[in-house]
Structure 1
Amino acid sequence: MRIDVVVDVKTTLGEGPVWDPEQERLYWVDSMDGRVFRATAQGSEVRCWDLPDKIGSMALRRDGEGAVVALASGFHTLDFASGEVIPFHDPEPDRPANRLNDGKVDRHGRFLCGSMDTMEEGPNGALYRVDPDFSVHTLEKDIIVSNGPCWSPDGDTFYFADTWTGEIWAYDYDQATGSISNRRTFCRPDGSGGGAADGSTVDAEGYLWNALVYDGKIIRYTPDGEVDRVIEMPVKKVTSVMFGGPNLDTLFATSMAKPPLPRFPGDGVRRGSLFSITGLGVHGLPEPRFGA
């Protein structure tokens, strides 16, 4: 196994890596600075789009050169060619202390994305589903920090975390309707080192990979929720993971250069870097695109 710095752009809060197998490019975001980045798997051809607000996550669209972006001010579309950002729905106009956070696309082109309390204290957030017709539906309420949405390889199990509950949950996922039910505890990440569950992805074998933010670890869990492997990262504030590369066998990991709140620890010179982890002997699954 080898860990390398792919791109060192010192993202204030790097998040949401998305591999595009069609272009063979990796996208990721800087949540606090409101930017979308793109680069090759080797870290070349870096491109950046500036957004009008903080961003939690993004989803590539099936129709055209663009994405759906989850900003602090709601859901928007981003046109990569022109850089134009157009709002289409703000689910929480009455909650100025909230912002949208982590999100992923299901096998049928729906974007599931949750919100968070920016002080990371109160259960003021929710989990939303954006359908291909751009309608928005509430799936879960009373969330502090939404994180880690992803699905089992067959699409029938949905994983999701409210970071500061100390649990990652599993739900039954109705692929016909995009509804969730039967919430149960999938695992309880070991937060004894000050860490908590952040971004996740599922590999082709159905094992879940989770970034343990503030503890500098990436943990692979079996489909039964047992710890299978632990990777010690060179930074404490590792935030999210995604498989990519031409063979989907490179695990990319984002990190933050500056913690959002002063109570969290700092990091060394590699803080805020985009990392690649190779030699794992594991392959990921291609991420679906948003749209019908």
Structure 2
Amino acid sequence: MKIEVLVDIKTTLGEGPQWDVEQQRLYWVDSMDGRILRCTAEGSELRGWEVGQKIGSMALRKHGDHALVAMENGIHDLDLGNGDLQLIIDPEPGMTTNRLNDGKVDRHGRFLVGSMDMQEEKGSGKLFRLDPDLSLHVLEEDIICSNGPCWSPDGKIFYFADTWTGEIWAYDYDNASGKVSNRRTFAKVDTSGGGAADGATVDAEGCVWQALVYDSKLIRYTPDGEVDRVIEMPVRKVTSVAFGGPDMDVLYVTSMGKPPLPRFPGDGQQRGSLFAITGLGIRGVPERRFAS
């Protein structure tokens, strides 16, 4: 196994890596600085888009060179060709202390995205599902900080975390309707080192990979919620993970250059970098595009 800095760009809050199989490109965001970034598997051909607001997450769309962008004041369409933004829907109008955070597309092209209290104290957030017809549905409420949405390879189990509960949850997921049910605790997060559950993904073996932000660790959980592997990273504030590369066997890891609140710890010289881990012998599951 080898861990290396792929792009030394010092994102304030790097998040949401996702590999697009069609373009063979990696996308990720700088949440606090309002940027979407893209590079090749080797970290070259870096390109960025400025959107002028905090970003929680993004997802490429099926048709045209467009992306969904979950921002402070709603979900927008971004034309990647000319940079134009158009509001699709604001799930929480008037909620000035909330913003949208982590989001991902399910196996049938729906976008699930959660909101968060920007002080990470109140349970004012929700989990939403945006369908391809652009209708919006509330799936979960009373969330402090939405994080880590991902699915089992067959799409029948949905994983999600409210960062400060110390748990990762699993739900039964209805692929036909996009409804969730039967929430249970999938895993207890080891917070003894000051860490908390952040971004996550699922590999082809059905194991869940989760970034333990503020504690330098990536955790691999088996499908039954047992810790299978722990990888120590060279920075404390690892934020999210995604498999990609031509063979889907590279684990890309985003990190945070500056904590969003003063109570959170600082970090070393490599803070904010995009990392690549090779030699794991594990492949990921390709991410879907939003189906409209």
Give the TM-score normalised by structure 1: 0.99
Per the alignment, residue 202 of structure 1 pairs with 202
Q: Post-superposition shift, 1:211?
A: 0.1
Give the TM-score normalised by structure 2: 0.99
Q: Post-superposition shift, 1:225?
A: 0.2
Q: Post-superposition shift, 1:140?
A: 0.5
SS of structure 1 residue aligned to 2:223: coil
Gaps in structure 1 of 5+ consecutive residues = none
RMSD: 0.6
How far apart, CA to CA, are the structure 1 residues paired with 2:92 and 2:108? 25
Deviation digits for residues 19-70 of structure 1 (CA, Å, limit 9, x no counterpart)? 0111110000000000000000111000000002110000111101111000
Per the alignment, residue 117 of structure 1 pairs with 117
How far apart, CA to CA, are the structure 2 residues paired with 1:12 and 1:52? 14
Q: Post-superposition shift, 1:117?
A: 0.2
Per the alignment, residue 158 of structure 1 pairs with 158
Q: Post-superposition shift, 1:189?
A: 1.1
The answer to whether the aligner puts 1:192 opposite 2:197 as a matched pair is: no
Runs of 4+ residues deviating >2 angstroms: none
Q: Post-superposition shift, 1:94?
A: 2.3
SS of structure 2 residue aligned to 1:81: coil
How far apart, CA to CA, are the structure 2 residues paired with 1:260 and 1:271? 14
Paired AA for residue 255 in structure 1: S
Per the alignment, residue 181 of structure 1 pairs with 181
How far apart, CA to CA, are the structure 1 residues paired with 2:216 and 2:90? 33
How far apart, CA to CA, are the structure 2 residues paired with 1:189 and 1:234? 20
Per the alignment, residue 237 of structure 2 pairs with 237
* Equivalent pairs, count: 292
Q: Post-superposition shift, 1:134?
A: 1.1
Q: Post-superposition shift, 1:190?
A: 0.4
The answer to whether the aligner puts 1:87 opposite 2:87 as a matched pair is: yes
The answer to whether the aligner puts 1:39 opposite 2:67 as a matched pair is: no
Paired AA for residue 168 in structure 2: I
How far apart, CA to CA, are the structure 2 residues paired with 1:80 and 1:158? 29
How far apart, CA to CA, are the structure 2 residues paired with 1:282 and 1:88? 37
How far apart, CA to CA, are the structure 2 residues paired with 1:188 and 1:31? 27
Counterpart mapping for 1:47-126 below 5 A: 47-126=47-126
SS of structure 2 residue aligned to 1:287: coil
How far apart, CA to CA, are the structure 1 residues paired with 2:160 and 2:268? 30
Per the alignment, residue 216 of structure 1 pairs with 216
Bigger shift: 87-96 or 28-37?
87-96
The answer to whether the aligner puts 1:4 opposite 2:4 as a matched pair is: yes
Per the alignment, residue 132 of structure 2 pairs with 132
How far apart, CA to CA, are the structure 1 residues paired with 2:19 and 2:58? 11
Per the alignment, residue 141 of structure 1 pairs with 141
Paired AA for residue 200 in structure 1: A
Deviation digits for residues 65-120 of structure 1 (CA, Å, limit 9, x no counterpart)? 11100001100011110111111100111210000000010011000000000000
How far apart, CA to CA, are the structure 2 residues paired with 1:243 and 1:37? 17
